[in-house]
Amino acid sequence: MNRNERVQIEQAAQQTGRALAAYRDLLPSISAYALAAVDTRRWLAQQVASFDLSKIIAADHLYRRLNFSFNTATSDILRSMSRSVNTYESVISSIQYPKLRELQRAAADWFLSVEGTLRKALEPLRELAERVGRADEIANAFRSYGLWMAPSMPEDLVRKVAVLHERGGSSGTIHSVISGRYARDDWRLLEGAVDRWAARPLFKKRVKSIAQALDSHRRGHYGVSVPALLIHVEGIAVDYLKSNGSAEKLGGKTREVVCAALQTSVEEIINLGDYMAVTSLLAYIETQMYAKIDFDVHYRSLRREKKIVGHAIRHGRQLSYDSRMNSLKLFLILDVLSLLD
């Protein structure tokens, strides 16, 4: 063996040693990352299996938190590992040793598979977030018309409102569409809702009065049905807070009491549609139905006001509240309140 051959062998041995040392240094991070990926996917699978993705609203918060922190961490780790591989790539590629080249290709394939696995693990939550985002858009459409989704509202009606909103439909059009749908078959949807409320603890002693209001509503006697239904809104909210061990939230004005009941119920609701209904109604109660108003300053305008102003109706200051839509709105408010338990 001549001197040149010995130098070539020594150089090859040194290169092989550096490459093996590089992978030896990289292996702990690969192993740790692999374990983290497996543990994370297992944890996500457990979370997904523990609830119905079409219903659980808490998953929205879970997704938003995970999507930021988990994806950010994933990207940081992959970038770090990629830099490590690129650092050693020139050393590895210069070695005429098939096994090391196979190891290099295997490592690159592994990186891609891990990233794909993590993205696949997050996919159910991504899909859920899209559904939540769409539901939020629909809820915002209803809010813009001073409305909210309700348990008795058919899905095709909800979708129709969303489409009309996208097309710039007016409040008058939307109100006409909703009241027209509920008016079918002598207000059968409302009758079905009232029948369901009879089984709810908070409604059992109120159903007779509500049924009488429904009879007045069917006859077009909205001047009777509106105040008859209005008194139950605060009453149900008070009963709910007392039965829920939240009596300390009582004592405020009607708006504060009703809002407290809705806010408390949100913490317990897991159905996505119910969550959107309650939060949309909450916005209406806070900003419109029980908005603060000076009776003396607005004496004349209140007498002509056609939208529901809860305090003004109860105190006899509002006289033009007797419309079909206002009566229907109060039924829809009670429909959402029937979710409280």
- In the structure encoding, which two tokens stand for residue 56, read together? 């659980």
pLDDT (tens place) for every residue of the chain, 341 residues total: 566 656 655 665 566 556 556 555 555 555 555 555 555 555 555 554 554 444 444 444 444 444 444 445 445 555 555 555 555 455 545 545 555 556 556 655 665 565 566 566 556 656 666 666 777 888 889 999 999 999 999 999 999 999 999 999 999 999 999 999 999 999 999 999 999 999 999 999 999 999 999 999 999 999 999 999 999 999 999 999 988 877 666 777 888 889 889 888 877 776 778 888 998 999 899 888 988 888 899 999 999 999 999 989 999 999 999 999 999 999 999 999 999 97
pTM above 0.85, yes or no: no
Name the average pLDDT for the chain.
Answer: 77
Q: Output the furthest CA–CA distance in the chain (Å, rounded).
A: 114
Instruction: Count other C-beta atoms under 10 Å from residue 339's C-beta.
Output: 20
User: Hey, what are 337's tokens?
Assistant: 């309140």
The label of the residue with tokens 């996208």 reads 166
**In the chain, where the domains are located:** 3-129, 187-337
Contacts of 162 (CB under 8 A, 6+ apart): 137, 138, 141
